[in-house]
Structure 1
């Protein structure tokens, strides 16, 4: 039942599990591996291209479409399975699957070998994120949920930072193939520990399952389709993710080509930006959303402010010729680019009933990842290839600047969501 805005309160009928923070820590660890395996490809792009003879467009396909196509689409049915069965089991199996295919990337001998391995990574990771959002929704009450989701989302900057630094170090000292073997193997090792710690919480609506069967993905989609705030937030996040994923993937190559820096230096640069700027922005977004959340409009308003403020600073960092100045300038927009996760992911959870959270999250991620992840990395690589005859080694710099206005588009879409979010919100009772 949709109600007018009211201060978030804990659902009185649900007792919070005593190990909620431990469960959150384990979910975070798995999400770190999720992004570690996913983003390690970016720092290894240069040696992979040299070894396999790949163009920027082909690398864009490996980082984007090869991974995102099935990752985005399979997330919906796998999340529906998680809502109907066991969310923790779905995540455990997914972790083993994507880690195995990460290791297989290290055996690639051609573009199509590594392309198919990346497809396998995407299939596995499709079962990880949306069910994790739902488990967090089960373990944490509304007034703490944005912060909990922001802490979980730290897996993005931390996993990405570890991925580029560990991948860069291994590739510089041993071989790029070993990096995939090591990271894939570690993911498989932690899977049993994850299942031991993370248990499904008996949900209040389980008693009503016979009378009210769990909603199908199509039913959940029809509910969300009638809520304008879902579309504004989903496409706002998608356009921001085109830049976020695109710049994140191509930043190592940009630094190698446009600055006097080696692979390990680029890894340290990016790791520092992600850990300092990304972690700060992620935590700030979640904390502010929980503090201001009694007014539902702040859930999309915070990301809107962050996107619009961050775009010109990011552009200034791309334009500078000073490596130190680029590091300083990148810190601020890197933080602002991550502000949206805690507020928006919380809002998406509240557009449906609790028992449909994983499916709703998967439908949101379908739009966000298919456009943002699938399109952003490939588009930046394609534009870079187009600019190469004109700008040479500076083609990636020109490519990033060309798509930078997408942050402004994302900000406008989030502002439009503030007009309908209160009406679309589903309160917990």
Structure 2
């Protein structure tokens, strides 16, 4: 018996918060590699030549677009259809985390992700790859909703924001790596191989998710049983092993509970202000990512705009994101300090970007824009820390899911077509980009309100922080 308990303790102790942070960062990196792959030239390819001179040989196109003969509209759908699965499934996974083990849910979602990316490689036409991309979003939803709450809750109290920064730093790094990986594999081998390679890399990570979930449950049982008397141990053992299951809820009860949880989130002024500012902030970033290279080409005659914007954004994000997290930890991760940091960083970053598009030469544009992006990416960890810290541990997955939905539905998804409509009307990329960049000041203005939040919200934030500081950290979160 002692040997069995020793083996269980050894298995459980392996999944320490630091190792799980590395695991989740690798998963996040690979997740965004996939985003870069679907957009890379080697995988996305080029359309077939519809008209050519009779003396010339018509080109059959390349990659996904060439093989399936996709229009530009269909090609654009493939890059964003994952959002359908993500937005539908993320609140479902977040709600399920209240009743089921988070790491097992992540293992389930990553298994779906693995299957979906493999199916992208086996797709036969536009509709089959579209369905596969939607499933990729479903798999991603489990990870997006559950990873950041775990990281925040398991990190040392004075390193919460910096740990989140390492996690979010993997987003631009993964995108950049995906462009390279997709371009190399798609061009030298075949675009299908790029997706199959992703599936092979993710499969062991999905299995580790299940293993972490099992270890987490064993740790919970061992801690429970160690604190009970023999009589209580027998009763608790029945509950732990599921002999007396809880009475199941009806679908209507689940819906009412879910709606009540969402309502509770938005009763928090800290959460509402954080999300509202993030919507405005990400509306600009989303439009930048879509229209930035074209605007750079039009304003500064920047022929390699894709490469310049991509490299500059990746470098600034990888440097700026952890800087923001470490500064937040250093000044004290409180709600007022968080909103002050967000307001200052967004104002300075927005001003630098605004001046960069006012400049008349590429020599002044690049350093100004780089400085702006450094400050802007410094907001990523503090704003997510505020979103998570505004509620209880139980509701943190749902807080992440709802904020993700708001950011996409009201922010970066509609911003690209709106900016396109503005450009159609003005026919002046410099004016259009200046109007777009000014929305950063709206985000800073919204976050500035958070500095003055007093009363119940700030008291609850302090209560949550005190509980986290006083609780001893364990190898895994104590969840059934």
Please tell me the TM-score bracket, short chain as reference: 0.7 to 0.9
Conservation of the 8 A alpha-carbon contact between 1:296 and 1:421: no
What SS does the aligned partner of 1:154 have? helix
The residue aligned with 1:24 is 21
The residue aligned with 2:450 is 417
Which of 1 and 2 has higher RCO (CA within 8 Å, sep 6+)?
1
Cα offset for 1:113?
4.7
Q: Give CA-to-partner distance per residue, 1:51-72, whole Å, 9 cap, x none.
A: 34533x65554434x2323312
Correspondent of 2:71 among 51, 54, 77: 54
Correspondent of 1:190 among 177, 200, 205: 205
Conservation of the 8 A alpha-carbon contact between 1:300 and 1:418: yes
Conservation of the 8 A alpha-carbon contact between 2:145 and 2:400: yes
Cα–Cα, structure 1 residues 322 and 411, in superposed 2: closer, same or farther, change >3 Å? same
Cα offset for 1:292?
2.0
Q: Give CA-to-partner distance per residue, 1:298-335, whole Å, 9 cap, x none.
A: 11221222222222333455566866765544432332
Which residues in structure 2 correspond to 1:21-420 (within 5 Å)? 21-44=18-41, 47-48=45-46, 51=66, 52-55=69-72, 60-64=76-80, 66-106=81-121, 112-174=127-189, 176-196=191-211, 200=216, 216-251=257-292, 259-261=302-304, 266-267=306-307, 269-270=308-309, 272-293=311-332, 295-317=334-356, 327-380=366-419, 386=424, 390=427, 400-420=433-453
CA–CA distance in structure 2, aligned partners of residues 327 and 194 of structure 1: 42
CA–CA distance in structure 1, aligned partners of residues 143 and 282 of structure 2: 18
Q: CA RMSD in A?
A: 3.7
Q: Give CA-to-partner distance per residue, 1:330-362, whole Å, 9 cap, x none.
A: 432332222222112222222222222212222
Cα–Cα, structure 1 residues 325 and 32, in superposed 2: closer, same or farther, change >3 Å? farther
Conservation of the 8 A alpha-carbon contact between 2:107 and 2:208: no
Q: Give CA-to-partner distance per residue, 1:179-212, whole Å, 9 cap, x none.
A: 33433442234322444457547689x98998xx
TM, length-normalised to structure 2: 0.71
What SS does the aligned partner of 1:84 have? coil
Gaps of 5+ in 2: 1-12, 48-64, 225-235, 240-245, 468-480
TM, length-normalised to structure 1: 0.78
Cα–Cα, structure 1 residues 241 and 184, in superposed 2: closer, same or farther, change >3 Å? farther
What SS does the aligned partner of 1:352 have? coil
Conservation of the 8 A alpha-carbon contact between 1:146 and 1:343: yes
What SS does the aligned partner of 2:97 have? helix
Bigger shift: 21-30 or 416-425?
416-425
Question: Number of matched residues?
Answer: 399
Cα offset for 1:171?
4.3
